[in-house]
Structure 1
């Protein structure tokens, strides 16, 4: 972790569990201006890790017979997804990103389409205190050119899918997705420091969250104060590394959904992530195979300024949750692709130690370990 900090990361903190042993640590600063140190118990915006919570909530409703995985979403939300699309896209396709519905983020943040122009960051500031309605974000995704045919062999990662799942939860439970997930997933798992933010500020000890946007914001800007309605049940949760390890441990042990539901969640398909890489994605869960080390389940996630990764080995005995407070540190080359940065190597070394102990870094780099993409 000190190596990650020396490579240019302001602050990094983590919890690793191995059987009955737990290690927590932190390196660097939570505030680059004051030098306030980062701590391992700090709260963090965990981005798309939220999707595992939302997927678990959907599966609970499947278990109760209120939702059918292979039913058309138009049966439940005919006004939001009308016509042929509503008849062809199933709940399962939303969960595993094979719906063909594109992500709304380029349209909610239109300046991002100007990358690598310095003006690409304008929308980040414009939307800091904007209160989005789920329906308007969903409409952006549904009116954009399709990302593929529903049910295709390869999915395309899209936050629009999980906003629709949030609306589905509200439809069948009579309460908001955030309220249902809090009562039936967060509280069931016994998480004490996890929740959806009530406003743009994070309650409790937390770091500032620095966004570089591939070097276009220089120096990186703090976005720890931000209205998270732009991602809602797709990526707005706040948690701690301790709570994330506890959550995935409970989930993989069949304590949040039953074993049949867990088996459905672990049926993966290839999905093209937002950075162009292909990941193995199930129903809200990502599968990561590391040669000589094992198969891990979990998620990674980013929001503006914060990156979080949480992985648990299939047997539940080895867990790692890592939080960082600078994101998109790689500058873009002439082709618009991220250039290599020392932080990348330092994180690979951290993952090696945290997940695998003595597995070499090259094996780690050759694996499917995610690299903090939203």
Structure 2
């Protein structure tokens, strides 16, 4: 962690567990202006890790016979996904990102369109939306109005936050309550998480770090976005949690205590999916699969929102876990060929992840999960 901080991350903190042993640590600053240090127990915006919670909630409804994985989404949400698209796209395709529906984020934040072409990218729409209240329906409409990124069911899939807002609408339709309320009662509370919640305002409750966004070098110095209305991402990436809670959640999930074993097996059926950074990941139903030779197969998710990044992975046998948070995002600048430049932070994070997962240096760095999260 000290190496990650020295490489340029203001603050990094997390928890690693191995059977009955647990290590918690932190390095660097929660506030670069005051020098306030980060602590391992701080709350954090965990981004797309939220998708595992949403997927688990959907699978609970599948277990109750209220939702069918291979039913067309148009059967449930004909107003949201009408016509032929609604007939071709299934619930499973939303969960594993093979719907072909593009991500709404570039259209909700217009000043980001054109990335990585600079100087077209700016922080204007990030700042303009800091206190804006988005409706899920308007974000979904933005995604559906954009050109499709593939045919429904085709692989590789293409990662899209629009899918998970639609799943939030599906939960609301089938449960008669908000998706956030259902997930809180049936996933968060069932897992026994004490510091995990959907925010009800622009601020994080409890001790937390400032969250610095560099926006690929556009913001220099990076700007704090820890105060933000998370309605722009909802059931896709809005959760606040702690690293201890994340490790507990994935331990409970992989042990069959959040969904049953049959549902878990469905969640762990992976296909190749193209992430927002262009890499290809192995993605199931709200779960990533990360195979590290010499260390085993890990399950979990990563995520990023403006200024905050998180990685949480649990080994298949449940005995080794890591959850790591950083308070700087999009640190890679873009070169003249419009490619993100390599940064020492990338190497330092891969070293940290490898050590956290393997406990030694037997695994090769290139087999560790990449430092750049796949999405807001």
Query: After superposition, where does 1:1-374 map in structure 2 within 5 Å?
Result: 1-115=1-115, 116-117=118-119, 119-360=121-362, 363-369=364-370, 371-374=372-375
Q: SS where residue 31 of structure 2 aligns?
A: coil
Q: C-alpha offsets along residues 209-261 of structure 1, whole Å, 9 cap, x if unaligned?
A: 00001110010000000000000000000000000000000000000000000
Unaligned runs of 5+ in 2: none
Provide the C-alpha distance between the structure 2 equivalents of 1:370 and 1:346, rounded to a whole number of angstroms.
9
State the Cα distance separating 1:370 from its structure 2 match. Answer: 5.7
Provide the C-alpha distance between the structure 1 equivalents of 2:370 and 2:344, rounded to a whole number of angstroms.
17
Q: C-alpha offsets along residues 68-117 of structure 1, whole Å, 9 cap, x if unaligned?
A: 00000000000000000000000000000000000000000011014322
Provide the C-alpha distance between the structure 2 equivalents of 1:271 and 1:307, rounded to a whole number of angstroms.
20
Provide the C-alpha distance between the structure 2 equivalents of 1:119 and 1:146, rounded to a whole number of angstroms.
23
Provide the C-alpha distance between the structure 2 equivalents of 1:289 and 1:226, rounded to a whole number of angstroms.
35
Contact 1:104 1:137 in 2 (8 A): yes
Structure 1 runs of 4+ aligned residues shifted over 4 Å read 367-370
Provide the C-alpha distance between the structure 2 equivalents of 1:348 and 1:292, rounded to a whole number of angstroms.
15
Provide the C-alpha distance between the structure 2 equivalents of 1:62 and 1:372, rounded to a whole number of angstroms.
29
Q: SS where residue 111 of structure 1 aligns?
A: helix
Provide the C-alpha distance between the structure 1 equivalents of 2:370 and 2:66, rounded to a whole number of angstroms.
35
Provide the C-alpha distance between the structure 1 equivalents of 2:257 and 2:371, rounded to a whole number of angstroms.
26
State the Cα distance separating 1:338 from its structure 2 match. Answer: 1.1
Contact 1:50 1:235 in 2 (8 A): yes
Cα distance 1:370–1:268, how it changes in 2: closer, same or farther (>3 A)? farther
Q: SS where residue 30 of structure 1 aligns?
A: strand
State the Cα distance separating 1:360 from its structure 2 match. Answer: 4.0
Q: SS where residue 348 of structure 1 aligns?
A: helix
Provide the C-alpha distance between the structure 2 equivalents of 1:61 and 1:242, rounded to a whole number of angstroms.
27
RMSD over aligned Cα, in angstroms?
1.0
Contact 1:114 1:120 in 2 (8 A): no
Provide the C-alpha distance between the structure 2 equivalents of 1:280 and 1:370, rounded to a whole number of angstroms.
16
Contact 1:98 1:155 in 2 (8 A): yes
Number of aligned residue pairs: 373
State the Cα distance separating 1:347 from its structure 2 match. Answer: 0.7
Contact 2:322 2:356 in 1 (8 A): yes
Contact 1:293 1:359 in 2 (8 A): no
Provide the C-alpha distance between the structure 2 equivalents of 1:157 and 1:335, rounded to a whole number of angstroms.
24
TM-score between the two structures when normalised by the length of structure 1: 0.98
Provide the C-alpha distance between the structure 2 equivalents of 1:15 and 1:206, rounded to a whole number of angstroms.
16
Contact 2:71 2:91 in 1 (8 A): yes
Q: SS where residue 170 of structure 2 aligns?
A: helix
State the Cα distance separating 1:192 from its structure 2 match. Answer: 0.1
